[in-house]
Structure 1
Amino acid sequence: MKRVITFGTFDIFHVGHINILERAKALGDYLIVGVSSDDLNLYKKGRKPVYSEADRLKIISSMKCVDEVFIEHSLELKAEYIKDHQAQLLVMGDDWAGRFDQFKHLCDVVYLKRTPSISTTEIIEVVRDPSSK
């Protein structure tokens, strides 16, 4: 059984999230998703997510393509997460291209093309200021 792992915040869930999760699952048999904690997102992006980590976990775990979900507490623990979940493949969006190559000694690493013209940040900006679109 090929175990695939991916990571993300998955805030303001949209079709781009669905696409990457379905495509990641198609590359293996078992999909594991690390959802960034609220604190990690604050550290990474300078803001808390719109949806709480509990809500984001529930959204991701409800997808039929997702087999397992866990909270990612630290960027520095990626290697441990990969090992602990016995992943053979790490999948990330191509906006992260090259940034996870250091894990190629633990598993294969693939960067998938993002869905064009959609991002959580863009959605948040439009909601805050509808005239910006």
Structure 2
Amino acid sequence: MGNRVITFGTFDVFHVGHVNILEKCSQLGSELIVGVSSDALNFKKKNRYPVYDEYSRLKIIKSLKFVNEVFIEESLEQKRHYINYYRANILAMGDDWEGRFDDLRDICEVTYFPRTPSISTTEIIEIARKL
């Protein structure tokens, strides 16, 4: 069995930056598992609900050819549980989370990827609101 990579995100207003980071994650191993933040978790993190509901976002991520498995992430505090449950040996996250998950190095490798410059869901939402 090759490396099982796990990553997490909201993936709202899906854009090329999301594709780039998920593609990089998939290149770390033979399988990519993606946790998509629930609507409630997104509200807790960002104090707003996503533009697209969790099932729509799940369907978008599931449709990518380099994603093997997708699930709804209910809690940020459950990362260790999700890693163990999905038998992942690599956790890959965007570098905006740099250092936040280093405590999980006892159960898996932890990698942080740079985000695609000048692309952010928040910026896209702000631009759309002004239109």
TM-score of the superposed pair, with normalisation by structure 2? 0.98
Provide the identity percentage.
64
* In 2: Cα distance, 1:55 partner to 1:22 partner: 20
Task: State the match for 2:37 in structure 1.
Answer: 36
Superposed CA deviations along residues 85-110 of structure 1, whole A, max 9, x for unmatched, are 00000000011110110110110000
* In 2: Cα distance, 1:68 partner to 1:51 partner: 20
The alpha carbon displacement at 1:129 in A equals 1.8
* In 2: Cα distance, 1:103 partner to 1:34 partner: 16
* In 2: Cα distance, 1:121 partner to 1:103 partner: 28
* In 2: Cα distance, 1:16 partner to 1:84 partner: 27
Task: State the match for 1:59 in structure 2.
Answer: 60
Uncovered stretches (5+) of structure 2, i.e. residues with no partner? none
SS at match of 1:90: strand
**Counterpart code for 1:85:** Y
Task: State the match for 1:100 in structure 2.
Answer: 101
The 5-angstrom pairing of residues 1-133 of structure 1 reads: 1-130=2-131
* In 1: Cα distance, 2:44 partner to 2:58 partner: 19
* In 1: Cα distance, 2:86 partner to 2:101 partner: 17
**Counterpart code for 2:121:** T
RMSD: 0.6
Give 4+ residue runs of structure 1 displaced > 4 Å after superposition.
Answer: none
Q: How many residues align?
A: 130
* In 2: Cα distance, 1:99 partner to 1:76 partner: 11
Uncovered stretches (5+) of structure 1, i.e. residues with no partner? none
SS at match of 1:5: strand
